[in-house]
Amino acid sequence: MNESPDPASAFYNPRAEHGFLGRSCSITAVGSYVPERVVTNAELEKMVETTDEWITTRTGIKARRIAAENEFTSDLGAKAALKAMERAEVSGTDIDLIIVATITPDMTFPSTAALVQQKIGAVRAAAFDIEAACSGFIYALEIGQQFIMSRTYDTVLVIGAEKLSSIINWKDRNTCVLFGDGAGAVVLARADKPGLHASVLRADGNHADILSVPGNVCGGRIVGSPYLQMQGSQVFKFAVKVLDEVARETAAAAGMQLTDVDWLIPHQANVRILEATARKLGLPLERLVVTVDHHGNTSAASVPLALDEYVRAGKIRAGHRVMMQGVGGGFTWGAVLLDF
Ligand code: UT7
């Protein structure tokens, strides 16, 4: 049952009620790519003082993919993008804009999106990166849809791609067991009926220090640590709290009920965070998308990777209502509610 949105509400979303400039926008295809090399918990047992039992019970992670030394974020992103484009039956010349969400760009500049642009032959496309850590894909999706709704562009490629292995300290058992590499991409295009109903994006820099890579390149040197550092239990509690809040805010903005959601795709950080979120929202675990067990945490890539896997498996199908959520460094968090 749908509720009428209240224009006085802080979450009132005019596009849910009226559309926006007479347009709609939806995801027309999904693609993903993971590097060939699988790193199991058993392999990590040989590198740091850990056990498969600890990693499995605390995180649900059994394996993750790790990119080759000469394989970069733009390579992963381009491969995911080409699969999505093939399924959407669009070629490089049809793409108006490429947005890559990443915290592991190939280099300081040019942007990873510009490198993807060259690799997929998107000769007409504008291209830029956005950085919102593990919320990056959710932020990028909303930015992409704004360009379509404003009639600036018709076809936007939104990519989440990460080579997190490049910023992991492989001697730090607190972090190295958690992360993996990969990429997911969607083709976002103008549509006849509403696809993306509502989104809510948030940030709070007060929590910047609990999850970060504090280092930077300055004066020809790396200043500060180039490795990911995290206060795990603080991140855990923050994530469970805001994933619950933002799901409710997004459903309210769309004038929809959480019970109408067919699939919940939270950022794939830890199976305990995912299950706690579903429980708090009153959603049965059968509607929860879980791929963290074999991908690990792939930051901006995690949601589109998970989406693609469930679409390929025939679980997420046309017409299903999907809530996607991100939470991560910044802190940033957000959600998008859409009909697939
Ligand atoms: O994308 C967003 C970014 N990240 C996340 O969302 C991660 C959020 N946090 C988490 O997933 C969890 O907090 C962790 C999986 C990181 C940790 O689980 P926890 O239940 O919160 O454990 P903890 O931090 O309280 O640590 C418990 C113990 C510590 O030992 P002591 O101090 O109790 O003796 C750690 O040193 O576990 C120890 N520990 C490990 N032991 C074996 C930490 N890492 C490992 C390890 N193997 N890999």
Nearest CA to ligand 1 atom 2: 328
- At 9 the pLDDT is 55
Helix (H/G/I), strand (E/B), else coil: 145: helix
**How much is the pLDDT for 192?**
81
Residue 25, classified by CB atoms within 10 Å of its CB into exposed (0-12), middle (13-18) or buried (19+), is: buried
CB 291 within 8 A of CB 182: no
Assigned architecture for domain 196-339? 3-Layer(aba) Sandwich (3.40)
CATH architecture assignment, domain 14-191: 3-Layer(aba) Sandwich (3.40)
How confident is the model at residue 20, as a pLDDT? 52
Q: Is the CB–ligand 1 distance for residue 211 below 6 Å?
A: yes
Does pTM top 0.85 for this prediction? Answer: yes
226 Cα: distance to centroid of ligand 1 (angstroms): 21
* Cβ of 34 below 6 Å from ligand 1: no
User: 278: burial class by Cβ within 10 Å (0-12, 13-18, 19+)?
Assistant: buried
Strands (E), the chain: 24-33, 37-40, 63-66, 97-101, 126-130, 155-163, 181-191, 196-203, 211-212, 216-218, 221-223, 229-230, 263-265, 321-328, 332-339
Which parts of the chain register pLDDT below 70? 1-22
174, 265, 271: which to mutate for ligand 1, most atoms within 8 A of CB? 174
Can you give the C-alpha Rg of the chain in angstroms? 19
Known active-site residue 294? no
Ligand 1 pocket, mutate which of 233, 292, 303, 332 (most atoms under 8 A from CB): 233
> What is the predicted pLDDT for the residue at 2?
42
pLDDT of residue 24: 86
* CA 232 – ligand 1 centroid, Å: 6
What is the C-alpha to C-alpha distance for residues 81 and 98, in angstroms, rounded to an integer? 10
Q: Which atom of ligand 1 is nearest to the CA of 174?
A: 44
- Report the nearest-CA residue for atom 12 of ligand 1: 232
Query: Do 14-191 and 196-339 fold alike per CATH?
Result: yes
- Sorted by where each begins, the domain ranges of the chain are 14-191, 196-339
297 is catalytic: yes
pLDDT, tens digit (0-9, with 9 covering 90-100), for 104-146 = 999 999 999 999 999 999 999 999 999 999 999 999 999 999 9
Which of these, 247, 268, 278, lies nearest to 310 by C-alpha position?
Answer: 268
Contact between 145 and 201 (Cβ < 8 Å): no
Backbone φ and ψ for 307, nearest 5 degrees, come out as -60, -50
CA distance 154 to 148: 5
Q: Is 314 left (phi over 0), alpha (psi -120 to 50) or beta?
A: left
- SS3 sequence of 23-87: EEEEEEEEEEECCCEEEEHHHHHCCCCCCHHHHHHHHCCCEEEECCCCCCHHHHHHHHHHHHHHH
Tokens 């995801």, located at residue: 27
Ligand 1 neighbourhood includes 302 CB (under 6 angstroms): no
Which amino acid is located at 71 in the chain?
Answer: E
Give nearest CA residue, ligand 1 atom 30.
Answer: 174
